[in-house]
Copies of this chain bind each other. A is one copy, B any other.
């Protein structure tokens, strides 16, 4: 029930790119410094995003990375899937046969439910949403806030 740094760093990286969009390729070194994350580690992460087709890499001097897709077409679910694969909350959701009780398991429904809810949320939040959002104050963090899900409130 924890987000890996891969996800968190990956998201910040993508958000950073969305904010710098239109300014040409951005070097990992720059983002690493700006975000305070290890350069080599970020490189590793951005390569996953590249493989997933979310960013494009330009080699050589003056090179760097840039979004391969407009930021309003990139959701947090895309990012998460790119860096971690389609992770389910518990194994029996993907591969029921792993658990011999799966036919008679009431808990499966709950985990599936929460799992779905999380994915719905993630699918509903784009990089644009994130970029245009305000930084939360400490008080605001208490209750769940509302995100526009491609226009519709989640």
Contacts and interface: CB of A to CB of B under 8 A. Distances in A.
Interface string A115-126: 011101110010
Interface in A66-121: 76, 80, 84, 87-90, 93, 96, 100-101, 103-114, 116-118, 120-121
A1 interface: yes
A152 interface: no
Contact of A87 (B1, B12, B90, B120): B1
Interface stretch (A22-30, A38-46, A47-55, A136-144): A136-144
Interface residues of A, number: 55
A15 interface: yes
A107 B84 contact: no
A121 B131 CA distance: 28
Residue of A111, A114, A131 with most chain B CB atoms under a 10 A cut-off: A114
A35 interface: yes
13 contacts: A1-B2, A1-B87, A8-B111, A11-B110, A15-B107, A76-B110, A106-B135, A107-B130, A109-B141, A110-B147, A116-B142, A116-B144, A117-B121
Interface of A: 1-4, 7-8, 11-12, 15, 35-36, 76, 80, 84, 87-90, 93, 96, 100-101, 103-114, 116-118, 120-122, 125, 130-131, 133-136, 138, 140-145, 147
